Amino acid sequence: MTKSELIEKVVQEHAVLNMKVSEMLVNTVFDSIEDALRAGDKVEIRGFGSFTIRERTGREARNPKSGEVVSIPAKKTPFFKTGKDLKERVNC
């Protein structure tokens, strides 16, 4: 499901919301999650899952084509852990 499909689904499920309002709603949710992760906070949606930031250390790797050693810098990456309820609903 794409973001635009999600917006259309919100419009279909809630007749009082038009496309513009639904788009603002979906964007606000995504932006809020992004802002919290940037601030270093954990975002937990009960029954769905939690978003956190994991810090990956720098490391040395090889370019598979040339065999040259390449340095990969440390970075932060978002991580999603599925909630128990979501796992159960998907595997029913």
33-90 pLDDT, tens digit per residue, is: 999 999 999 999 999 999 999 999 999 999 999 999 999 999 999 999 999 999 999 9
What does the pLDDT average to over 18-46?
96
Instruction: Name the pLDDT band for 15 (thresholds 50, 70, 90).
Output: confident
What does pTM read for this prediction? 0.79
The SS3 call for residue 50 is: strand
86 touches 47 (CB < 8 A) = yes
Taking residue 41's Cβ as centre, other Cβ atoms within 10 Å add up to 13
Q: Is the pLDDT of residue 30 over 80?
A: yes
Strands of the sheet containing 43-45, edge to edge, are 43-45, 49-56, 75-82
- At 79 the pLDDT is 97
What does the pLDDT average to over 22-42?
96
Whose tokens are 């796992």? That residue is 87
- At 92 the pLDDT is 76
Give domain limits for the chain: 3-84
- At 82 the pLDDT is 96
Domain 3-84 has CATH 4.10.520.10: yes
What does the pLDDT average to over 6-13?
93
